[in-house]
Amino acid sequence: TLTVGIYDPLNALGGATGRKSQPGFHGKLAYKAELSGAKVYLSSAFITQQQRDDFSEGDGDDYRSYGVDVGGKVNIADLELGGWYYYGKGLGTTALFLLGSDGNGGRRGSNGYLAQATYKIDAIKLGVNYGTSRLNGADGENATGLVRSNSKITGGVYYSLTKNLLLLTEVTSVTAKAHGGGKNEALNFNIGTFLSF
């Protein structure tokens, strides 16, 4: 399946600001199949949008943001494996278009990945995932004050109490590193429920 959309543009944060002369464009290509008893899902998505700074003389912080991802998952009986990778220019980090430029039209590059595995034993599902997201400075930029990477690993146990009620317990370790060498670490423990209807 191929899906393409034209959207109201989003304002950048920490970079180009002002009215947008062009809409944003998003698209996704997805493929599903069953091969020798395994369920396969593959997809790739893209996004692009022109950023414009109305408050600077000349072109100011005008630039085009774009990004693409590719990934998929495979189910073999009770085992599910998945993986995704993305790359972008001017997309920023943590939130879409946050700190995507250096303020002078220089786009910051970003990339990252996520890998996940789950296994079901009756009503219990065990899962682990690891992901990291990186932000690089623009060409010639001193990016000392910027985050360089955010990484996390999560292990979880999920129990289907009913068809619509899921009980869960998760432990997550998070590490954030700055271009200047600083580092923050956190360990989180979560327990809760998820209700679908």
**Of 8-12, 163-167, 175-179, 193-197, which range is least confident?**
8-12
Question: Cα(first)–Cα(last) distance of the chain, in Å?
Answer: 26
Can you spell out the DSSP letters for 61-93? T-EEEEEEEEEEEEEETTEEEEEEEEEEES-BS
Higher pLDDT among residues 156 and 102, named by residue: 156
Residues in the chain: 197
CA distance 1 to 31: 6
Q: Say if residue 55's pLDDT is above 70.
A: no
What is the pLDDT at residue 190?
95
Name the phi and psi angles at 2, rounded to 5: -120, 130
Q: What is the DSSP letter of 146?
A: S
The structure's pTM equals 0.83
> Over the stretch 8-54, which tens digit does the pLDDT of each residue have?
887 776 555 555 667 899 999 999 999 888 999 999 999 999 887 66
pLDDT score at 97: 85
Give the H or E element holding residue 130: strand 124-135
Read off the pLDDT of each residue in 181-189 and give the average, rounded to a whole number.
95
Average confidence (pLDDT) over 58-74: 85
pLDDT tens profile 130-140? 999 999 988 88
pLDDT for 195: 93
The pLDDT assigned to 57 comes to: 56
pLDDT digits (tens, 9 = 90+) for 79-100: 999 999 999 999 888 788 888 8
